[in-house]
Amino acid sequence: MQTRLLASLMLMAFTAGHAAAQTPPSTLAEQQQALRNGSLSAQQLLQWYTQQIAQKNPQTGAVISLDPQAKQAALLADQQKNFRLPLAGLPLLIKDNIDAQGTITTAGSLALAENLKQQDAPVVARLRKAGAIIAGKTNLSEWANLRSTRSTSGWSSAGAQVRNPYDPARSACGSSSGSGAAVAARMIPAAIGTETDGSVVCPASVNGLVGLKPTIGLVSRTGIVPISHNQDTAGPMTLTVLDNALLLNAMAGSDPQDPVTRQADRRRSADYTKGLDKATLKGKRLGIVTNLSQGYDTDTKALFEQTLSLLKAQGAVLVAVEMPHMEAIEKDELPVLLTDFKAGLNAYLATTPSAVKPRTMADVIAFNQQNAAKVMPHFTQDLMEQAQATAGLRDPAYRQALARAKRLAGKQGIDALLKRHQLDALIAPTTGPAWPIDYANGDVIEGSASTPAAVAGYPHLTVPMGLVRGLPVGLSFFAGAWTEHRLLQLGAAFERARPALPAPVLPEAKVTAQ
């Protein structure tokens, strides 16, 4: 895959004599304005980020491949000058478990090294229709972190290790690690990740980004390598809340191939950017989820307390609450995900080109065993083996666990708290600061707020709240289904009130990927 990336960089390189790329504005909204007033071209913008990827990817391992079609797309954008399209000329990276025409989708696995796709996933098609340029794909935790209980976030056999730009010895979290690291390192202005439980909001938090996991059913999952049809969704990862809303405008909508999205066109907001500039925290009732705000080190606790004081100073009303049934929710979640994973992966593999030899999860497990030196140098595939042993989607135990977990997390959990305390949203630290990459022990994560919204299928927004020992930590906002606009407004008001995070400064010395 490293050879593939180098080849992509050569294909993407502009010819000698082309005007040197100048530093563009950093956010999508600012770049959109520059493209519209003619002070920046789509080709210049793409060239700048191609150079940033070439310079910074050796330290971060964030990008797994570049799309050789992107240069032509940028040229066409400049020729057509249709910069009234909401994302016209703006370059994005997408996670490498999302299909894009003319590119290989690996999900981080060498088993899918020949998975050359001939059409876009609907979410990618929507982004292109809005004018976005897909510059390439980001590395990720192999099989979206559901291969082993001892996996190391950000490592994949197809792309090696993703590293946190704020400290390359530390994790970028997973599974959308490459999307988080690429945006944080300013290798791209925004990226698309996917989440089942924490895989957008955790990498967004530890990389100092805004990340949104939408309501299940707001964004199509067709053409995305699955874990769970009950919890999977794509989501935007950006430098600002406004940029997040710009992407969500393009991504949200019904897909006839994904029945769960049948309500999306009716339930989505017409414009998620509307009112963000005037959004306020005054009078907003926020529930501090106490049992999701525990287990953090002294410095992270201090930052959270400072954040609560800031929210109060902005006029928010804070109410201490406890998320009920957490132990039962967590007990039911993994068996559900494992059952879904087997069914979903078998269905996806059946759609892959004939060049892809593994056609079932059992075939992938056998491939991993046959190629253990390359695929399993650091951790095994115990979770995949457990998934293979599940009894299927008709299994009564599975159905009971699914229904129970959804009810406890949703109706009797998040919904009940919001109603009982008349809350606008629930808040907690998203997770702790990035931890050292450690193949012997795997991930050592300090707290997480992702599970209730993930299991319920509800939206979850994380916004940077500050640095802990030089490492970013995010603040989570989550609420009931279809409340993305409300969460984005709360996030925008909070974003304006707190100091901006500094960009990471990568060391000059290159870090060799493992």
The yes-or-no answer on residue 95 being catalytic is yes
Q: Is 510 a catalytic residue?
A: no
Average pLDDT over residues 356-377: 98
Q: Return the structure tokens found at 247.
A: 């992407």
At 21 the pLDDT is 59
CA 4 to chain centre: 23
Cis peptide before 175 (omega within 30 of 0): yes
Decide if pLDDT at 22 tops 90: no
Q: Locate 444 and state its tokens.
A: 């050592």
Fill in the amino acid letter for 147.
R
Q: How far apart are CA 224 and CA 126, in angstroms?
A: 14
**Confidence at 216, pLDDT banded by 50, 70, 90:** very high
**What pLDDT score does 1 carry?**
53
Task: Give the per-residue pLDDT at 513.
Answer: 43
15 Cβ contact partners less than 8 Å away, ≥ 6 residues apart:
none
Active-site entry in 199, 205, 254, 448: 199
Counting residues of the chain whose pLDDT is more than 70, the rounded percentage is: 95
Q: Would you place residue 500 in the very low, low, confident or very high pLDDT band (cuts 50, 70, 90)?
A: confident
Beta-strand ranges (E) seen in 421-480 are: 425-429, 460-468, 471-478
| Distance separating the N- and C-terminal Cα atoms of the chain | 13
* C-alpha closest to that of 138 among 181, 109, 100, 189: 181
* pLDDT score, position 172: 98
Whether residue 514 is predicted with pLDDT greater than 70 in this model: the reply is no
**171 contacts 437 by C-beta, under 8 angstroms:** yes
Inter-residue contact 229 to 174 (CB < 8 Å): no
Q: Give 326 or 13, the one with higher predicted confidence.
A: 326
The pLDDT of residue 199 is 98
Looking at the predicted structure, is the pLDDT value of residue 117 above 80?
A: yes
pLDDT in tens, 266-299: 999 999 999 999 999 999 999 999 999 999 999 9
Q: Of 8, 56, 71, 95, which is the active-site residue? A: 95
Does the structure show a pLDDT above 80 at 198? yes
Output the pLDDT for position 17: 33
pLDDT for 3 beyond 80: no
Both tokens assigned to 160: 């090696």
Query: What's the confidence (pLDDT) of residue 209?
Result: 98
Provide the whole-model pTM. 0.96
Provide mean pLDDT across the span 423-429: 99
| Burial (Cβ within 10 Å: 0-12, 13-18, ≥19) of residue 511 | middle
- pLDDT mean across residues, the chain: 95
Residue percentage of the chain with pLDDT more than 90 = 94
What are the tens digits of pLDDT across the range 143-177? 999 999 999 999 999 999 999 999 999 999 999 99
Check: CB of residue 70 under 8 Å from CB of residue 91.
Answer: yes
**Residue 16 confidence (pLDDT):** 32
203 pLDDT above the threshold of 50: yes
Confidence of residue 2 (pLDDT cuts 50, 70, 90): very low
Residue 509 has pLDDT above 70, yes or no: no
Burial class (CB in 10 A: 0-12, 13-18, 19+), 412: middle
The pLDDT score that the predictor gives to residue 4 is 53
Which residue bears the tokens 């049992």? 291
- Cβ-Cβ contacts under 8 Å for 258 (sequence gap 6 or more): 122, 220, 221, 222
Q: Catalytic pick from 151, 175, 177, 450?
A: 175
DSSP state of 338: H
Do residues 31 and 90 touch, judged by C-beta distance below 8 A? yes
Assess contact for 177 and 200: CB atoms under 8 A: no
* DSSP SS3 for 192: strand
